[in-house]
Amino acid sequence: MNMGAPKLRIGRAYFLCGYYLRNRPIPEIETCIYIGANIFEEDKAEKEPHHYFERPEAYFAKEIAEETAEYRSSETDEDAPEELKEPRFRVAESELAALVYDYQGLRKWVVALGEEPNADEAF
């Protein structure tokens, strides 16, 4: 449904959109932050560019820690958060248009959920 790949800007939020089941439009939407294209040396050997995204919890870890510090009691020493499972992931340029949406694209995608085949069974 995405009309084309969004113009990606580093530090901006994007959304990976898809369905859990092929024949039912149960949406899966994941927020991610764009961190750049071909950021690793091994990317240069690839046939097409790869775009990297990071989960917001990892991208904003420092800011999150600073914001939550004021709510922690100095008497309770909380353990450091568990390491994030695969905080970064990459998407081939050829897959951007099918998977990655900007905010406006996300809005259109959500509105169109009701028009998907078998939507009446999902919603």
Model pLDDT for residues 10-44, shown as the tens digit of each residue:
999 999 999 999 889 999 999 999 999 999 998 98
Query: 4 near 98, Cβ under 8 Å?
Result: no
pLDDT for the residue 80: 47
- Per-residue pLDDT of the chain (123 residues), as tens digits, is 566 788 999 999 999 999 999 889 999 999 999 999 999 998 989 999 999 999 999 999 999 999 888 787 655 545 545 555 678 999 999 999 989 999 999 999 999 999 999 999 888
Strand order through the sheet with 24-37: 88-92, 50-54, 24-37, 13-21, 100-101
Please list the alpha-helical segments (H only) found in the chain. 56-59, 61-69, 93-99, 103-111, 119-122
